[in-house]
């Protein structure tokens, strides 16, 4: 099965070794994807990459790929090299990445940054964003229905991305997850369901108010129960 190459991914690697690019290889390889936005409206993919390079020995925060309406730029090897390297895009010590995927995001996830702003064509940037995430799923044999997580769900006390960036583009996080699957299906000719469910009994503590809904889990279906923060489910 081949993947439709709609766009070009431009490698523009950061200098290594540096604080932003250590050169350490992912271990045990790519297991999931973290969706980000830059949090800096009007900044472009090229501009973000250049900022990372110019400050490579000042800060450690980084990501693999930046996407805007004109370019998909990879600044830390993932898709454009057969040896994916670590990027520092999620804080260590957070529990959710390990709970959901079994690994720390920096060790096993590709970080993809969405650029937005009134100088960026939101529709074209979004098309590139979902395409490159679908391509990551294809390249590393990941399930497109369950392998992408928003940064805000891993670090909810500090982060709102990519939800904040998507809202600027008149889109929702739910739509993003569905569109990744649709794009994967289109680019491979396959059929993958929109959601992947695994039945696994257990319990967990609710961090924020939780709306329990009927049928398909979208914000448009009826709420049947509200679970308060601190509750165990």
- Rounded Cα distance between 207 and 7, Å, is 39
Mean residue pLDDT of the chain comes to 93
- Rounded Cα distance between 120 and 69, Å, is 6
Question: Crossing angle for the helix pair 173-188 and 122-139, nearest 10 degrees?
Answer: 60
Runs of H (alpha helix) within the chain? 45-54, 96-101, 105-108, 122-139, 151-154, 163-168, 173-188
Cα torsion angle, 225, 164, 148, 5, sign: positive
Asked if 122 contacts 169 with a C-beta cutoff of 8 angstroms, the reply is yes
CATH 2.70.98.60 is held by the domain 9-200:
no
| Domain range annotation of the chain | 9-200, 203-233
pLDDT digits (tens, 9 = 90+) for 108-133: 999 999 999 999 999 999 999 999 99
Structure tokens at 177: 């997850």
Supply the pLDDT for residue 76. 98
pLDDT digits (tens, 9 = 90+) for 71-108: 999 999 999 999 999 999 999 999 999 999 999 999 99
Say what the pTM is: 0.85
Is pLDDT of 195 > 70?
A: no
């Amino acid at each position: 099965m081949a993947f439709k190459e709609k766009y070009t991914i431009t490698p523009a690697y950061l200098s290594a070794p540096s604080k932003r690019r250590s050169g350490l290889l992912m271990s045990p390889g790519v297991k999931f994807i973290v969706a980000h936005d830059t949090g800096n409206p009007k900044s472009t993919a090229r501009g973000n990459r250049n900022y990372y390079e110019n400050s490579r020995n000042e800060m450690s925060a980084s990501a693999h790929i930046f996407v805007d309406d004109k370019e998909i730029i990879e600044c830390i090897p993932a898709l454009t090299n057969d040896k994916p390297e670590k990027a520092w895009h999620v804080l260590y010590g957070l529990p959710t990445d390990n709970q959901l995927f079994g690994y720390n995001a920096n060790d096993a996830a590709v970080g993809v940054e969405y650029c937005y702003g009134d100088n960026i064509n939101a529709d074209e940037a979004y098309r590139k964003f979902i395409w490159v995430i679908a391509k990551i799923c294809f390249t590393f044999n990941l399930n497109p229905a369950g392998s992408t997580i928003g940064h805000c769900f891993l670090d909810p006390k500090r982060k709102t991305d990519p939800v904040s960036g998507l809202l600027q583009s008149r889109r929702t996080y739910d739509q993003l997850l569905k569109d990744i699957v649709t794009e994967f299906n289109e680019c491979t000719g396959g059929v993958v369901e929109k959601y992947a469910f695994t039945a696994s009994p257990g319990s967990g503590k609710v961090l924020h108010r939780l709306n329990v809904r009927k049928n398909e889990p979208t914000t448009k279906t009826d709420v049947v129960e509200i679970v308060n923060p601190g509750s165990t489910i």
